[in-house]
């Protein structure tokens, strides 16, 4: 009798436990946690609670930062080609000059006298040649005399050209438009060939000389934009553009040598300034991003779980660049997709799910 009672008690306890477990795991449709009450879940089924967020659409920028120096677009040191004494300094230090403007005049009195002598000799040679030519035509002159007169004429013409060129060398003119620097000579100085007179630099536009690692070879191209920061001008970024790429890789640093051009209309920048150059390697306006915690490695694939009609959908994706805590998706997803960001380990493809993040946000929203 006692054994029978004990057996009945045990059976009742097991039955109660089974019913309790069943009600816990399979709530009724009317209960708050039922799948029928879950958004997008099938009525009467169980929906796993997960957190999800929509794919973010934004701009993808890939950059690299290099250091370089500002270089004048054109720059020369004004030097005389021949020796002479300075008779006139026409420019003012720091002045803007135009191409062809006279900068320095050397004493050319001797050269002008030599030119006058050469011109007089040329006039006599021309007259002798014409006379010899007339005599040959009339039959009273010799061909030898005509040839000698011709060669003397050409020699004197060359002498006039040399004297004229020497006078031109006594005038030192600006080879291009730019800003003339500080002079290192004075009027009356005797200068030898190659003596430094002053610097002449074209400051608008300026060049930026910089280098980037060779790994960016395929990402660098002429026409790419750069942002240039100068320590002397904090909180200001000067825009520029790459216009030249050296065809040779620098073997010392395994780097690509680049030149960018930067406008300098206001003339505030100077050659030699240290520059930080941000190179825009890649820019996409409509890139897709998901939080990095949404990425699930699965064998040789990378997947995310997308919520579609209340069901988890396993999607293979291709990853692009990383931007902070987000990952760019370049294949597999589209605008508006809801991506699971928490709870991936307890779901699988085809499992009903509900987004508790959306439910929590709706509950927290103020009611009218």
- How far apart, in Å, are the Cα atoms of 61 and each of 54, 64, 66, 224, 324? 21, 10, 16, 13, 12
Q: How confident is the model over 210-235, as pLDDT tens digits?
A: 999 998 888 889 999 899 999 989 88
Token output for 258: 């680049």
| pLDDT, averaged across the chain | 84
| Per-residue confidence (pLDDT) for residue 271, from 0 to 100 | 92
User: Average pLDDT in the 311-338 region?
Assistant: 87
| Per-residue confidence (pLDDT) for residue 136, from 0 to 100 | 87
Token output for 185: 């000579």
Confidence of residue 28 (pLDDT cuts 50, 70, 90): very low
| Per-residue confidence (pLDDT) for residue 40, from 0 to 100 | 41
Taking 60 as the threshold, does the pLDDT of residue 42 lie above it? no
Q: Which domains does the chain have, with CATH numbers?
A: 48-60+286-362 (2.40.420.20), 65-73+203-283 (2.40.30.170), 80-107+170-196 (2.40.50.100), 108-167 (1.10.287)
Q: How confident is the model over 264-297, as pLDDT tens digits?
A: 988 899 999 999 999 988 777 888 899 999 898 8
Confidence of residue 2 (pLDDT cuts 50, 70, 90): low
Q: How confident is the model over 165-200, as pLDDT tens digits?
A: 999 999 999 999 999 999 999 999 999 999 999 999
User: Average pLDDT in the 327-350 region?
Assistant: 88
Strand, helix or coil for residue 157: helix
Helices (H), the chain: 2-25, 109-138, 143-169, 356-364
| Per-residue confidence (pLDDT) for residue 228, from 0 to 100 | 94
């Amino acid at each position: 009798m006692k054994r029978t009672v004990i057996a009945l008690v045990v059976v009742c306890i097991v039955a109660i436990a089974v019913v309790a477990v069943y009600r816990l795991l399979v709530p009724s449709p009317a209960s708050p946690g039922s799948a029928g009450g879950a958004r997008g879940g099938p009525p009467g089924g169980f929906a796993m609670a997960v957190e999800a967020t929509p794919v973010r659409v934004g701009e993808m920028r890939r950059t690299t930062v290099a250091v370089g120096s500002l270089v004048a677009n054109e720059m020369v040191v004004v030097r005389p080609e021949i020796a002479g004494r300075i008779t006139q300094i026409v420019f003012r230090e720091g002045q803007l000059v135009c191409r062809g403007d006279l900068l320095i005049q050397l004493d050319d009195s001797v050269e002008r006298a030599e030119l006058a002598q050469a011109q007089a000799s040329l006039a006599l040679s021309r007259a002798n040649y014409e006379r010899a030519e007339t005599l040959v035509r009339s039959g009273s002159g010799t061909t030898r005399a005509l040839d000698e007169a011709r060669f003397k004429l050409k020699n004197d013409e060359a002498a006039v050209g040399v004297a004229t060129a020497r006078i031109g060398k006594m005038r030192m003119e600006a080879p291009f438009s730019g800003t003339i620097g500080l002079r290192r000579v004075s009027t009356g100085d005797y200068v030898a060939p190659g003596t430094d007179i002053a610097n002449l630099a074209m400051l608008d536009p300026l060049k930026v000389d910089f280098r980037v690692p060779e790994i960016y070879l395929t990402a660098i191209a002429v026409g790419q934009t750069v942002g240039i920061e100068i320590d002397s001008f904090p909180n200001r970024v000067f825009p520029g553009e790459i216009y030249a790429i050296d065809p040779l890789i620098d073997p010392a640093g395994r780097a690509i040598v680049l030149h960018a051009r930067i406008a300098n209309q206001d003339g505030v920048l100077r050659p030699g300034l240290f520059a930080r150059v941000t190179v825009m390697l890649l820019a996409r306006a409509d890139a897709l991003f998901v939080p990095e915690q949404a990425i699930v490695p699965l064998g040789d694939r990378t997947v995310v779980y997308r919520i579609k009609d209340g069901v988890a959908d396993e999607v293979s994706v291709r990853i692009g660049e990383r931007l902070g805590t987000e990952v760019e998706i370049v294949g597999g997803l589209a605008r508006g997709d809801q991506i699971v960001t928490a709870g991936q380990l307890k779901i699988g493809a085809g499992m009903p799910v509900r987004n508790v993040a959306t439910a929590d946000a709706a509950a927290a929203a103020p009611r009218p």
